[in-house]
A = this chain, B = another copy of it.
Amino acid sequence: MTVVLIAIACGLAAVLYGLITSRQVLAASAGSEKMINIAGAIQEGAKAYLGRQYTTIAIVGVVVAVLVWLFLGVTSAIGFVLGSVLSGAAGYIGMNISVRANVRTAEAARSGLQRGLTVAFRAGAITGMLVAGLALLAISVFFYVLVEGLGHGPTDRVVVDALVALAFGASLISIFARLGGGIFTKAADVGADLVGKVEAGIPEDDPRNPAVIADNVGDNVGDCAGMAADLFETYVVTVGATMVLIALLVAGTTEQLTSLMSLPLIIGGVCILTSIIGTYFVRLGGNQSIMGALYKGFWTTAILSIPALYYVTTQTLGDMNAVIGGAQEAAGFDIDPTVAATAVTDGFTGMDLFWCMMVGLGVTGLLVWITEYYTGTNYRPVRSIARSSETGHGTNVIQGLAVSLESTAMPTIVICVGIIVSYQLAGLIGIAFAATSMLALAGMVVALDAYGPVTDNAGGIAEMAGMEDEVRGRTDALDAVGNTTKAVTKGYAIGSAALGALVLFGAYTTDLDRYFADVAVDFSLSNPYVVVGLLLGALLPYLFGAMGMTAVGRAAGNVVIDVRDQFRSNSGIMDGTSRPNYARTVDLVTKAAIREMIVPSLLPVLAPIVVYFVITAVAGQANGFAALGALLLGVIVSGLFVAISMTSGGGAWDNAKKFIEDGNHGGKGSEAHKAAVTGDTVGDPYKDTAGPAVNPMIKITNIVALLLLAALAAGGPAI
């Protein structure tokens, strides 16, 4: 268990990095009193929103925790609570830093681009490291206590179930946070734009717009807290599921299995260290390229991780060429030999696992590059949207939709190649390790993403506080890059979510075989219940997406009505003589977002349960399990496309607008620009609400299925 202790130490290092860097960020000047006031309003709004969001989730959480306790016992319930509390904490702390760093970034931008970049990126890095660190700590401490402290065997059912429950806790928070935050941010953004830019004709971030503070709050609760919860969840789920799969599938002595099960933890640990090192490489080069500076950090981390992963794998497993695994027969579970054979082929070596990790890093790099291609202003897709804006709103949207559909192709092919190669190397376990090494970079990737809302806010504060044009220019430059990093992170998040979900699906089929060996489940595609399951699973992201988009539309409509009312009842606002009631708008969006997030969030929790019981009632338990399994895969397959097309398409629309604003196709104010603004508005809920919320949705469906199996096996409400 030494390895686990080292992983715990790495997790603590991340937290320590967070503490030290927080001090550095907070030590920077927060600027003038006006700036402090504006930032204060944003802080207040963000806190109020997250407070209310977590209170609502807590009510759902307590109910679910009791259910977990009743069906799966106290250890699982503790895992569930741990997962949800730490996921919430990562988001909350990240948001807290973010709303303090925004104003400091604006102030630092006075003294130059590099200063502004440093403050903003450090703030992002704090969130990033906390996400990776707390996630790693959650699993590794929990695993250590269960195995070393309470003396359970590493592959005991109580340990496996508890790890799944831990992931469930994180997932449940994540789907609410992603969706609630996503609705908040886009309702405020779209609403503010509609009533401000379009109706009143005032610029973005104009302090006269009552929705402007809500818009800035939204950046923090959506892109920062929401993304943090999302990747915390993917991390816990993927690493946890990898450990569970090892426990279920691999044959070996307790000692061997303990080593192998701690390998994912140390992979996470060592990559935290390389991520921390990477953060120090984020510096402007001679060409003053901000994106270049950020990528320097990312690529440093990725490249340093190669030898680091090799080293920890050797240290953990010893001989890299010794064959491990093979079908598990000794460990006491009743695994169907064909399942085990599919899963682990002929055993694998440490070297095989290392290559699988390289596949994970490769997939990460390629997904980053592909997303950059589809959302960057230098390439064909964005430029084609910009060009088509010249012929009007309609052609802009048509081209944007075409790009969004097309953008699914290369990521899918990369993921398929990743699946095939890692499977050839080490079976299902190989896929699991590829996913784990992908997630191991989460600290750095979240850092890039969380940088976005900080700079976005910094720009808003600079505008509202009436800072000099030069400063505004710098914050704009920092912000423009934030758009790309946000898009890139989303590409990474959905790619890793899909692989993570496949690992979960592997756990489902294995678990099924373990708990219900006597039920002959026909997972074959020629079983019509499998087809029905695939269809219903594929439907979920569509329905979920529709609900998310409609929610944004409805909530944004409320914002428009509120702002119109403020303009009407207080004529001093437009003259600049009277301050709008920012808090009223924030409160309104808060209530709307909380209200709108409930039903869609419950969809993926309830769908697997309903489908299982309905199909079981109609066609027996074996077909119920088959349909449920197919539903899981249907969600993954369809969700991948829905999420990629929405996030890439939205990013492309956004940057097509930016490209025109940079003076192309007539520049700001031209007809092409108006069309591009329409495209950007359409892309907003696509890329920031519906698309990203599909990630946690995919996984929660899979986790609920795993828990359902465990509950049924434990004598739950079987039919």
Contacts and interface: CB of A to CB of B under 8 A. Distances in A.
Given A405-B543, A549-B405, A633-B525, A538 B618 contact: no
B395 A342 contact: no
A424 interface: yes
B190 A641 contact: no
Q: Which of A398, A419, A532 has the most CB of B within 10 A?
A: A398
A301 to B, nearest CB: 28
B391 A560 contact: yes
A629 B525 contact: yes
A509 to B, nearest CB: 4
B416 A535 contact: yes
B394 A194 contact: yes
A659 interface: no
Nearest to A677: B394
Interface residues of A, number: 83
A169 interface: no
B420 A618 contact: yes
Contacts of A194: 391-392, 394-395
Contacts of A388: 553, 557
B397 A618 contact: no
Interface stretch (A65-73, A174-182, A406-414, A450-458): A406-414
A406 to B, nearest CB: 4
A270 B618 CA distance: 33
A552 B681 CA distance: 23
Contacts of A531: 419, 502, 633, 637
A678 B392 contact: yes
B681 A395 contact: yes
A395 B189 CA distance: 12
A94 to B, nearest CB: 28
A543 B410 CA distance: 10
A439 interface: no
A633 B534 contact: yes
17 contacts: A194-B392, A198-B392, A343-B526, A395-B553, A398-B682, A401-B549, A401-B682, A402-B546, A405-B545, A408-B542, A409-B539, A420-B618, A428-B528, A509-B526, A534-B534, A534-B633, A638-B641
Which 3 interchain pairs have the tightest Cβ spacing?
A394-B681, A406-B546, A402-B549
Given A399-B553, A431-B528, 6 more contacts: A388-B553, A399-B549, A406-B546, A420-B532, A428-B526, A535-B640
